[in-house]
Every structure is written in structure tokens, then in C-alpha cells.
Amino acid sequence: MKHATRPKDVYYKRSDEQAAKHLPGETTFSLKQKIALTCRMLANNGHASGLAGQITARGDDPSTFWTQSFGLGMEEMSAKNLLLVDGDLNVIAGHGMPNPANRFHIWIYRARPEVKCIIHTHPFWCSALSMLEEPLVISHMDTTHLYEDCAFLPSWPGVPFGDEEGRVISEALGDKRAVLLTHHGQLVACGGVEEAAVLALTIENAAKLHMAARAVGEIKPVEPHLGREAHAYKIKPKSYLATFAYYARQTLKTDADCLN
């Protein structure tokens, strides 16, 4: 029996309809619980680096954001030890001090009103790639969330405690969701915690693939139209919400205390 060949759009439409019915929507976790969960899932997937790295998420007042209490590692974060800070890093709620490097997050939030969550970490593979002073190549299906969506800062502005570093990093990011920071690490800036968590995990996987492939040969690019098609599919809300839910389930098997 001969089967008809249908346009690919037919299957995309079917997938969207099934995803709307069967995949999870917004989680029932509070914002603080999502931040804490993200810290633990990042720590469990190679993003912990002592006290380096930050996650921030806008508060109810968009000029404020939640972040970690400095002195605690990603693997130690819970909903109860987060801080709410204003646009000059003054603590509004919680106890402790924010990481002074959070100042460059302020610059991104000012430039990108649609951004609700920023994650900056120094994971192994992103850090190693950053030492080569070359941009990340997105050339595998699993990492196409970042196809043409990862910027590159080719020089290191120093420890990002000041306004100048904030300006440089914000301008390098531009309108993209991610940026590889030379001699530094990675940063993602997204419309919500779930999306940011997924992209932070994705960029480290992409850097690992980049380094492994580059060690044995030249990385071959994907066809641009296919990369863009995959990117459009991967960044659909249902896709990253389902992926976040998966990582949350894995994380809660060992780190349920983070919700306290």
C-alpha cells in the first residue's frame, strides 16, 4: 500500500496540538522555589563553582529581583535563603548580602524589559571554551535552542563588579538569549526561570560537544534553514516547560529540601 507524503508542517501542527493537551503548563512552584530548584539542578549538572555564578529573577516590582545570599554555593540554595534586592543591590527582604557581581544583571534588566530571569555560571566546558577566545558553534540538534541565539564577548572586562562591566556584557548580549563570555563563563537571559534553566543547561552541553568535536576535527555547520527550524521548535514554551519539569523531578529525588 502506498502512503501519502505529507508536508512537515502537518506534523508540527499535530505535535503542537498534542503538546497543548498532554505536556505540563506553568508549574505550581512559587518563584522562590523555582529559583532554588534551578540552583540545585545546575549544581547537579556541572554548574557549581564555589561561590561563583548567580541567578536572578524579577520580583513583583520589576525594578527588584530575587537572588542568592552571597557565601552560599548553588548546591546550598533553598527558597528560604534568597534575597530580594533593589536596583542598587540594597536588600529589601531576606538576610545576608547579594553577590556584588549581580550589578551587571541590573544593566541587562534595564536594557531588556522582557527578561525576567538571568543565570550566569562558570561551568567546566563553557569556561574551557571561553579560554580559547572563540565563539560557541551550535551544530547539534540537541543544542539548537541556541542556534543564532548565542552571542560572544571576545574580551574579558575584568571582575564584573562595576558599571563598565555591566555595560560591556549587556551590549555583547544584545537581543539574544545567551552569551559566551571570554575567560569567564556563560550567561542566559530569558522570559522566565524555566526557560533560563533549560538554556543554561543547554549551553554547557553545547560547549562540551564543541570541545569534543573540535579536538578531533573541524566542526561542520548545520544548514541554516534547518537550524532556524529546530530553534523555533525548541523554544516553544511547552518544550522548555516539559524539560524543566523533567529536571525538577530528577532534582527533587535528592534535593527536596530546597523547597523549604
Q: What residues in the chain have per-residue pLDDT under 50?
A: none
Residue 170 lies in a domain: yes
How far lies 66's CA from each of 82, 90, 234, in Å? 6, 11, 27
Collapsing DSSP to helix, strand or coil, 3 comes out as coil
Average pLDDT, the chain: 93
Range of the domain at 117: 29-259
Residue 199 lies in a domain: yes
Residue 251 lies in a domain: yes
- Map grid coordinates 550589578 to a residue: 103
Number of domains in the chain: 1
CATH of the domain at 134: 3.40.225.10
Q: pTM for this structure?
A: 0.94
Give me Rg for the CA atoms of the chain: 19
Q: Which three cell numbers stand for residue 178?
A: 545567551
The per-residue pLDDT for 33 is 97
The per-residue pLDDT for 162 is 77
The per-residue pLDDT for 1 is 58
Residue 53 lies in a domain: yes
The closest alpha carbon to 98, from 114, 79, 110, 82, belongs to 82
The per-residue pLDDT for 159 is 80
Residue 23 lies in a domain: no
Residue 11 lies in a domain: no
Q: Running DSSP on this structure, what letter comes out for residue 60?
A: S
The per-residue pLDDT for 17 is 79
Based on DSSP, count helices (H) and strands (E) in the chain, helices before strands.
8, 8
Q: For residue 135, how many other CB atoms are within 10 A of its CB?
A: 16
Residue 7 lies in a domain: no
The per-residue pLDDT for 23 is 72
Residue 158 lies in a domain: yes
The per-residue pLDDT for 177 is 98
Phi, psi angles (nearest 5°) of residue 217: 175, -170
Rounded to whole angstroms, the Cα distance separating 29 from 145 reads: 24
The per-residue pLDDT for 28 is 86
Collapsing DSSP to helix, strand or coil, 92 comes out as strand
